[in-house]
Structure 1
Amino acid sequence: MAIFKWQNVLCLQLLVVLFAQAVAVPEYRRLPPLQEQASIQDAWTAERLSNVPQLLRKYGVDAWLMSQKEYAEDTVFWSLKSATQFSARRRTVDLFLANAVEGTSFSYTWIDNTPTVWSELLVVLEAQNVSSIAVNADTDVAFSSGLHAGELNKIIKELGPKWKKKLVVEPMLGVEFIGTMVFNRLGWYRQLQETTWAIISEAFSESVIEPGITTTSDIEWWMREKIQQLNYTTWFMPDITILNAEDPFGNLSSTARRVIQFGDLLHCDFGVTAMGLNTDTQHMAYVLYPGETQEDIPEGYLGGLKQVNRLQDIVKSNMKIGTSGNDILKTSLKQMRSEGFEGRIYCHPIGDWGHSAGTLIGMANLQDEVPVLGDLPLLDNTYYSVELYAEYFVPERNETMNFYLEEDVYWDDEKKDWEWVWGRQEHFHLINPPVNDLFRTQTDL
């Protein structure tokens, strides 16, 4: 009878795995050879650069000027360079024109450490009859404030008083150039996101976690090693926490529990980087007790996951193009509270950078509004991380817990709506007990 019960448990767990596979099983996506990656990335960059004149006309400036030296690059440099450039060289000067004179180029680049760069730049400005020149010297928006103070002084000195008067700051140039994703990036971005899910799925499994032995730090370093094995990299250290033991965004003391036990609710904050793109994902997992199946997950935990899924829906539905992040935040929080629950919203653009260019929809510590960055308009043709948590009372613990999720979305220009890049978590990752624990438990009955 004991062996029969044990076999039933194994069969139930196998059915759960097969059901999950029928829904969607993320696979590791291998990157192409480096030379092929470079060609793909350079094609994306060429397409993005071709849109610059239109972008300049949209914001009413004649030219866009960037100047940088090696290891003191403008933030925008990293989105317009070739894939085989690892830094600026000598003095690297880029000039883009909104309405180039017929027969001339709309873009110019100088890589030089002599006065020639300035004399040739002046010739182009005069010939193009430029009346306004945007420089990235904004005081608040990081993606439009990459012009180093020394370079700004150098530009003013070399171009002289006449051209100094024509220098202007238009922060949306850097924001929109970096934030806009060309369509052909999506296929690869989806593969990066699937790989992110695949790493999380394996990390949150019995192949990596042994309750009573494995620590949260062990999983974090396993994820780093897995990233390395796949020839990806990452833009932040993976973070694993035990939700029923500590708050992932609170002050963690040295005494906070790190060893994973049966019945723990786990949380990860994880992302990968490849081909000039970044992902950002937060998922949750449940550690089954010996003899448990998916049916034994505490109802309070299931309710919390459903609640945070609902908050995702609310935020995504309110992400209207052209609306400020602050307005999206206020509308979403109001709708959340009208439905009778609490939470926090802190969504950010993603793409070239993990925290990329665009409006912010809240921050973890700013739930009324985000100064400046929250006032920017939401752009289309971009990617966003829908990052948030919902509060939910868990009867089994007699306490209200925070349930955290984060998934990346992209703008579908045909549907005129936001879509999940690869999907969203609607079921917990499950860590099944080792077979020896199952056998021991069942034979003791």
Structure 2
Amino acid sequence: MRLRSLPLLLAALMVSSACATPGARPAAAPGAPPARPFGTVQEQAQRQQAWLRERLEVALPRLMRQHGIELWVVPMREYNEDPVFKALVSATTYAARRRTIYVFHDRGELGVSRIALGGNAQGGLYELRRPTQQVAGGGRAVEPWGPDQWQMLKQLLEERQPRTIAINVSRVFAFADGLTHGEYEGMVEALGPTWASRFKPSGGLPVDLLAWRSEDEARFFAEENRLAWDIIQTAFSNEVITPGTTHVRDVEWWMVQRLTDLGLATWFHPSVSVQRQGAGDAQLGENPVIQRGDVLHCDFGITALRLNTDTQHMGYVLREGETEVPEGLKGALARSNRLQDIVVEELRPGRTGNEVLAASLARMRQEGIEGTVYSHPVGLHGHGAGAMVGLWDRQEGVPGNGDHRILPGMWYSIELQATSPVAEWGGQRVRSAQEEDVILGADGQVRWAWKRQTAFHVVR
């Protein structure tokens, strides 16, 4: 069985086994999202292919010129793919075939040529080059293998005569450091010192290519975030939680199961935690039973069509006799909402992540909010490529990763927390940690991918 066919087969088996009778669909639980929220796997792949075409035809030439890249070489071996691989291949390609070498050459008015030495043409988006093997009766094209591929690359360089050759090596960005040491040594040995002397780091090119998003990807991202909201709302309800009985781990596994039932995945295991009046972490333990009066928190992400969401929401379990969330807790959530407003207002294309962080924290302190900001790009990776806006334990800024500049059109997870004393809890401090995804439009305007939480999810 060919590797690329296996996920499609598994998806088909999942659907067929879920149907008790031909043509029947599995019954959805109350409040559940639709059984196929994003269409069939074939429809998803077709949509992804359109995104790939636009990324390669529109974004890549623009970014290569912006970063001063004449020719870019991206070699990788099967199961040891470069991080930028996700931005370069079709939905039906899951790994680099044997070795794949992608070459991108900016020919000025002739455009950027895209050449694959190994692998496949990705639905006709690459010029596929293969060596010819002489057999009885003539020659036949074969898959390149081993040292032959480096010789094919050398021939291509001699044909194109680039002044510089960009390679993915970086001590700052993981997304720009995908060239392995073994591949580098093999390439240098095969190409020789003349060509190797023309190597230069690709810099921010792979970072920005991964961060670049199309308008239709943004439309899909809104759908994906809406689904994340739906799952969290159900998780933080009496449909899933029975106060005094349900453990936090039960809720986490319910969220994973819901994704699995939908044929989707997550890029990290969800977390659910509680804050309780008069109790600290030591008293609560690692897997407490959810009780009335608890403040709930979750961190949850969805992976679909290779795109990732990242969401943190707050919930509250009503005490006996309560009909709504205490005012002190509402105020805590309002303060983290205000901090969201500040970060969103400061998040502008052209600024560095460290500039956004410094401006946001200055305004936060001026308004008397006690909090931290640790927002990040999101997209083809959950902790995505692009300018980092703080780390929870690096509020002075993040050298290197925080010095990159923000692009129009990219996405961010506005991740932060505000800590507030709550009068109803005797002044005990409550941490309101929120995370919501936003889209920076091509015009630089920021909008919530779906919406943001301004009221607690309530368990009655």
C-alpha distance in structure 1 between counterparts of 2:285 and 2:368, whole Å: 35
- Give the corresponding residue for 1:3: none
Gap change, CA 1:318 and 1:26, over 3 Å in 2: farther
Letter in 1 for 2:92: T
C-alpha distance in structure 1 between counterparts of 2:106 and 2:46, whole Å: 27
State whether residues 67 and 203 of structure 2, in contact with CA within 8 Å, keep that contact through their aligned partners in structure 1.
no
- Give the corresponding residue for 1:167: 199
Cα-to-partner distance string for 1:326-367 (whole Å, 9 max, x where unaligned): 111111111011111210000000000000100110001100
SS in 2 for 1:419: strand
Confirm whether residue 303 of structure 1 aligns to residue 331 of structure 2. Answer: yes
- Give the corresponding residue for 2:381: 353
The counterpart of 1:375, out of the listed 397, 403, 421, is 403
State whether residues 285 and 430 of structure 1, in contact with CA within 8 Å, keep that contact through their aligned partners in structure 2.
yes
- Give the corresponding residue for 1:390: 418
- Give the corresponding residue for 2:450: 422
Give runs of aligned pairs for residues 283-294 of structure 1, distance below 5 A: 283-294=313-324
Gap change, CA 1:135 and 1:246, over 3 Å in 2: farther
Letter in 2 for 1:33: T
C-alpha distance in structure 2 between counterparts of 1:210 and 1:64, whole Å: 56
State whether residues 87 and 210 of structure 2, in contact with CA within 8 Å, keep that contact through their aligned partners in structure 1.
yes
SS in 2 for 1:171: coil
- Give the corresponding residue for 1:122: 154
Confirm whether residue 32 of structure 1 aligns to residue 39 of structure 2. Answer: yes
Q: What TM-score comes out, normalization by structure 2 length? A: 0.84
C-alpha distance in structure 1 between counterparts of 2:187 and 2:211, whole Å: 27
C-alpha distance in structure 2 between counterparts of 1:69 and 1:341, whole Å: 49
Gap change, CA 1:31 and 1:257, over 3 Å in 2: closer
C-alpha distance in structure 2 between counterparts of 1:277 and 1:246, whole Å: 40
Could you tell me how far 1:128 is from its partner in structure 2? 2.2
Aligned length: 402
State whether residues 26 and 194 of structure 1, in contact with CA within 8 Å, keep that contact through their aligned partners in structure 2.
no
- Give the corresponding residue for 2:21: none
C-alpha distance in structure 2 between counterparts of 1:364 and 1:245, whole Å: 24
C-alpha distance in structure 1 between counterparts of 2:329 and 2:245, whole Å: 24
Cα-to-partner distance string for 1:140-166 (whole Å, 9 max, x where unaligned): 211000111000111111111111111
Cα-to-partner distance string for 1:220-277 (whole Å, 9 max, x where unaligned): 0000100101111000011000023799xx9778835610111111000001101010
Letter in 2 for 1:240: V
Gap change, CA 1:105 and 1:265, over 3 Å in 2: closer
The counterpart of 1:408, out of the listed 407, 423, 437, is 437
- Give the corresponding residue for 2:103: 95
Moved more, 420-429 or 283-292: 283-292
Q: Which runs of 5+ in 2 are unaligned?
A: 1-30, 119-143
C-alpha distance in structure 1 between counterparts of 2:237 and 2:255, whole Å: 12
State whether residues 65 and 134 of structure 1, in contact with CA within 8 Å, keep that contact through their aligned partners in structure 2.
yes
Letter in 2 for 1:61: I
Confirm whether residue 279 of structure 1 aligns to residue 287 of structure 2. Answer: no
Cα-to-partner distance string for 1:205-233 (whole Å, 9 max, x where unaligned): 00110000001000000001001011110
Gap change, CA 1:289 and 1:120, over 3 Å in 2: same
Gap change, CA 1:245 and 1:376, over 3 Å in 2: farther
Moved more, 82-91 or 355-364: 82-91
State whether residues 52 and 96 of structure 1, in contact with CA within 8 Å, keep that contact through their aligned partners in structure 2.
no
Moved more, 29-38 or 309-318: 29-38
Cα-to-partner distance string for 1:60-91 (whole Å, 9 max, x where unaligned): 12111011111111111122111111111111
Could you tell me how far 1:308 is from its partner in structure 2? 0.4
SS in 2 for 1:76: helix
Letter in 2 for 1:47: E
Confirm whether residue 137 of structure 1 aligns to residue 166 of structure 2. Answer: no
Letter in 1 for 2:47: I
Confirm whether residue 76 of structure 1 aligns to residue 84 of structure 2. Answer: yes
- Give the corresponding residue for 1:49: 56
C-alpha distance in structure 2 between counterparts of 1:256 and 1:376, whole Å: 37
- Give the corresponding residue for 2:25: none
Percent identical: 39
State whether residues 100 and 128 of structure 1, in contact with CA within 8 Å, keep that contact through their aligned partners in structure 2.
no
SS in 2 for 1:387: strand
Confirm whether residue 62 of structure 1 aligns to residue 94 of structure 2. Answer: no
Give runs of aligned pairs for residues 188-207 of structure 1, distance below 5 A: 188-207=220-239
